[in-house]
Structure 1
């Protein structure tokens, strides 16, 4: 099966994992039994949770950014893809696809006939817009000796109705664009001087590799095997879950056994009825294998110390700290890639729009989960050290605000810092005044 289709199916739980479509038939299994297994199939979707856990912490809070007061750029941020998608939501979706497939490509396109004035452009939403292209959509490409993309061709498929699909092929070069194939091609020029495509990589891979391998392909494959194990496990439970009643009998009479019947036997009988149970070993073996596969999926993704797996009580505090540092480093590395892609997208917007917006953004680098009570306790202990420094106390306050009010509006945050700084200065001034009065009183004595 195509690896990109497997990744997509594993993440969304579709395709192979719907209605048991991806179950393998046993060599000597009857069609009736196979179809019955398909009807009972279920999918434990760990791929989606693992991929999300590699992206969600980065976009947990609003990304810090600054830009000038351009009304046109603000309109773009509020609706960056012409379907009402907020820019940060678009970036998060692009980041998820980059993580899942190994890379994603953001195309910064523009309307074919821009409006004459900025007001008209804002009113009619005649602005640059974004769309992302996953590796399976890429038809062809060219790169120069420096690894820069100089031709990018991709196929876009659109569902325009319940049973209506059509596709278009888009081609970009540093100064031209085209839509269509063969004889039905519409072409045009642009003055960007570069291909308006941003490469968004999942990890540190060669930028010249347009379709890098996904770091989660092994997770998707393991999840597919887990899907098979779950089906076998269900079959054993269904076929062997109930004990079987055994009684001495010549087999000459028909006997109906059930919860509504009574089975009698002679008092002097030497062989009383009893139950025999199927061996639980096959079911136990499958259960252990399922648990092992689940644990391995989180280990391979580097998240075994974060979610989904029972804590290892044998690990020392230092070992657990190293696990956290490894996870934090992985998230921080991807956050840097997201930040660079974010800035590159806005840079292409500026080329299309013909305006400089002074854009800058800062993605988080530390993903430690702060315990509010611990943070407040540590802040209190820090103040009790008695350092008589206004700057020191302000830094302690910032730590408190980050832990207790992480989503505070920037203007409110600045106001609190200013008010506390003023209060500390007044307190220091009053302390100097009181010390002066005490010294004068001592001199009078």
Structure 2
């Protein structure tokens, strides 16, 4: 049986076993497509059911999360934790609280996390979790009661040497605090390494808040440098206005770029003179309001509810919102408007059609499993500090982050060239991430 037939047969089987999970199917399909050249060159990677084992989570947890709202009514949500692969180290990956969360979404995120964590070069495996709970519009007391109920079940499945969750969409410092407090209460110990993204006064790491946004810009900087270009003077568009987007905007502007637009679910904002990051942080992190509040207070900003953030002319696009937000039509518009570099700050925000168009048009494209690895990399650095009871300076931690992102770009670039696909960073990231995990799995036997 040819490699093409092997991969096709396995993918068909995966579709049947994981029906109704399109995001998971999409993530696996992209990786398997990249691995055809690996299996052709190194057929031993097909031994011992390795590909099948890689695509099957080691453990999938689904649990009920009952909590009481401010009106005294009992609400019930569903919680998830998918512990996907621990060949390289304890499961590591965030928790997402959003109405769209289901098992398929969590499996897609956990699968991506395997390769992302591998690319960091740090000893962490892949996992992900979350709930269909929506923190928006909830009081602090309601969020606290939900987090306490969620952790009451989750605490028995996690630990600093087993599984270390962090934040994601809908899970910021507030939620991590409530989750950790309940874990500490239930476990009767201050096991600071069990969660990352903690407050700075109780085990958190400097730069962790900024890490994913900073990291995507650091990798973009490396990608542009390799092409003989620079962020200095470049125009950048950023989708989203959450944690990743805000700090991507900050770092891009610190490096000389002008962020000409950003967005949230209510619309998009055109900012031809750049973004007032401090004002945006106040709107989103303190006031917890929509971007319309930013437009009301900012000079030269225009709110749009028609069209798309991708309609703007720019040199660089950083999709930092959510999966499949940038489709083929958007990609064609970006290409027509002069965008030459795209780096994903979110997990799989570009559809397969968009990625194909970027490659066909010669637009350099960095996939999320590489470009947004800064968050989990700095989480692993937080784990190191917790294990040694140490605390590093902002400058030192930022330097470590910058070096990790530079190494990731170098690894995926050289791997793509090694397999005859120069500048195809999707291939490079998938293959480099896979080989490290696959070698560990083969060395450890059929487990």
For Structure 1 versus Structure 2, the TM-score category normalised by the shorter chain is under 0.3
TM-score by length of 2: 0.26
TM-score by length of 1: 0.27
